[in-house]
């Protein structure tokens, strides 16, 4: 019989699809924070383009969140949704909102016409669009895989097609080597759909950022913070009595030391998701900036030394960028893997049961044997 008879029966692409759908709806919160922090400055992008700048390339403008998405065919402006003093305002774009007379813009920030600040900005932003695309693509692939398994492809026979084989290889790798490697095997199936969904969605969001016109959603701190917050909530909700005991009443240490260890352990609850958040954010942001900056050297050299030098040096910069693109594909998958791995480590640590009685017995045996050996 095929090895996949055993493997695929334990696959749960429908559960992966269901969890992905839940996280997709939950990711709307990313739009709340992203809209409130950065998109307000994107409404004057067209005006900024008409102004002369001392810099030949706008690096930060390429990585910032915007009220539009770029495509090979031009910009597509996104809806603006405002909640002000208990009233909803919806417009097809920022231009429409300002043209209506209901809102004004001051120093890149939008206010209601009477200068009342926006209470909640529910607008869709470019980063939020790519978050949705990442989870939607993960959802569609999982549903597609589930339909094939229901028809027996991959259960009574080997998986057919490159995509199906890649899906199963990645699933088995994440489940067997990552999740079951750090989460007790009997409890691992409960967390596999969530962690595999996050792995696929993060990988897609990272890879989208390699497209010249696309945005890297994971280069937005609000996106990575939301993903890390999901891991934080799951970790704390999964904590066992032993886990909480090691935080508030660490066994086997003097009382005075507990007063030192307890604040450190409580601080550790928050530093772990912060490490997840900033690790993914910093790696993806730096990679995006590096590629834009290297390509920007063509324009800088053109401005400083003329078109001949600029075009001549482009061979070097384009070749270096091509090499970096290959590295970025690897980094995109690696960062998705690291995020999933660390999430599994944190959840597994919360589920771990410690048997202090056995450790105490072993410790006493060692103390008894030491005088004899001496």
Q: List, in sequence order, every residue forming a beta bridge with 330; answer none if it has no partner.
A: none
pLDDT at 14: 63
Task: Considering only residues 6 and 121, tell me which one the structure prediction assigns the higher pLDDT.
Answer: 121
Residue ranges of E strands in the chain = 68-71, 74-77, 80-84, 87-91, 103-106, 109-112, 120-121
pLDDT at 54: 52
Mean pLDDT of 304-321: 86
Determine which helix (DSSP H) or strand (DSSP E) holds 195, and give its type and residue range. Answer: helix 188-208
Tell me how far CA of residue 39 lies from CA of 1, 66, 74, 262, 318, in angstroms.
56, 5, 19, 40, 31
CA separation for the pair 344, 125 (Å, rounded): 30
297 CB neighbour count, 10 Å cutoff: 18
Q: How many CA atoms lie within 13 A of 215 on its CB side?
A: 26
Chain centre distance of CA 156: 35
pTM: predicted TM-score of the whole model, two decimal places: 0.81
pLDDT at 295: 83
| The pLDDT of residue 11 is above 90 | no
CA separation for the pair 217, 202 (Å, rounded): 9
Q: Kindly report the CA angle at 133 between 132 and 136, in degrees rounded to 5?
A: 80
Spell 358-368 as b/e; 16+ CB within 10 A means b: eeeeeeeeeee
Tell me how far CA of residue 88 lies from CA of 43, 284, 354, 373, in angstroms.
19, 35, 53, 80
CA separation for the pair 347, 230 (Å, rounded): 11
Tell me how far CA of residue 241 lies from CA of 97, 210, 244, 358, in angstroms.
53, 44, 5, 17
Mean pLDDT of 313-334: 90
- Local confidence band at 24 (pLDDT 50, 70, 90 cut-offs): low
pLDDT at 13: 64
| The pLDDT of residue 360 is above 70 | no
Quote the longest CA-to-CA distance of the chain.
91
pLDDT at 291: 85
Q: Specify the range with the lowest mean pLDDT, choosing from 134-138, 162-166, 252-256.
A: 252-256
Q: Domain-by-domain residue ranges, the chain?
A: 4-78+123-357
CA separation for the pair 263, 10 (Å, rounded): 41
Mean pLDDT of 121-149: 92
Mean pLDDT of 107-135: 91
Which 8-state DSSP code applies to residue 354?
Answer: -
For the stretch 199-218, pLDDT in tens is 999 999 999 988 888 889 99
CA separation for the pair 351, 239 (Å, rounded): 6
SS3 265: helix
168 CB neighbour count, 10 Å cutoff: 21
Q: What count of residues does the chain have?
A: 374
């Amino acid at each position: 019989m095929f090895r996949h008879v055993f493997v695929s029966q334990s696959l749960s692409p429908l559960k992966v699809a269901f969890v992905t759908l839940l996280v997709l709806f939950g990711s709307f919160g990313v739009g709340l924070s992203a809209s409130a922090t950065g998109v307000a400055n994107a409404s004057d992008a067209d005006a900024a383009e008409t102004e002369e700048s001392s810099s030949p390339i706008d690096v930060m403008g390429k990585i910032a969140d915007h009220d539009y998405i770029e495509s090979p065919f031009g910009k597509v402006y996104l809806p603006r949704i405002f909640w002000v003093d208990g009233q909803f305002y919806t417009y097809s774009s920022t231009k429409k909102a300002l043209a209506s007379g209901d809102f004004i813009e001051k120093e890149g920030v939008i206010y209601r016409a009477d200068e009342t600040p926006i209470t909640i900005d529910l607008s869709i932003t470019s980063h939020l669009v790519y978050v949705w695309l990442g989870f939607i693509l993960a959802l569609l692939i999982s549903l597609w895989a589930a339909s094939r398994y229901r028809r027996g492809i991959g259960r009574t026979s080997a998986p057919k097609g490159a995509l199906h084989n890649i899906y199963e290889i990645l699933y088995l790798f994440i489940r067997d080597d990552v999740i079951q490697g750090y989460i007790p095997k009997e409890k691992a199936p409960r967390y596999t759909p969530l962690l595999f969904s996050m792995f696929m969605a993060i990988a897609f969001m990272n890879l989208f950022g390699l497209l010249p016109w696309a945005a890297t959603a994971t280069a937005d701190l609000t996106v990575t913070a939301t993903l890390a917050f999901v891991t934080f909530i799951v970790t704390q909700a999964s904590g066992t009595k032993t886990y909480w005991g090691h935080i508030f009443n660490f066994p086997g240490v003097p009382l005075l030391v507990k007063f030192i260890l307890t604040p450190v352990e409580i601080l550790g609850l928050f530093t772990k998701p912060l490490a997840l958040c900033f690790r993914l954010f910093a790696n993806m942001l730096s990679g995006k900036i590096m590629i834009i900056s290297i390509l920007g050297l063509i324009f800088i050299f053109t401005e400083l030394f003329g078109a001949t030098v600029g075009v001549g040096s482009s061979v070097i910069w384009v070749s270096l960028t091509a090499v970096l693109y290959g590295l970025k594909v690897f980094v995109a998958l690696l960062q998705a893997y690291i995020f999933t791995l660390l999430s599994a480590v944190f959840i597994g640590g919360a589920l771990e049961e410690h048997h202090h009685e056995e450790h105490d017995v072993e410790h006493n045996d060692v103390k008894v044997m030491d005088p004899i050996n001496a």
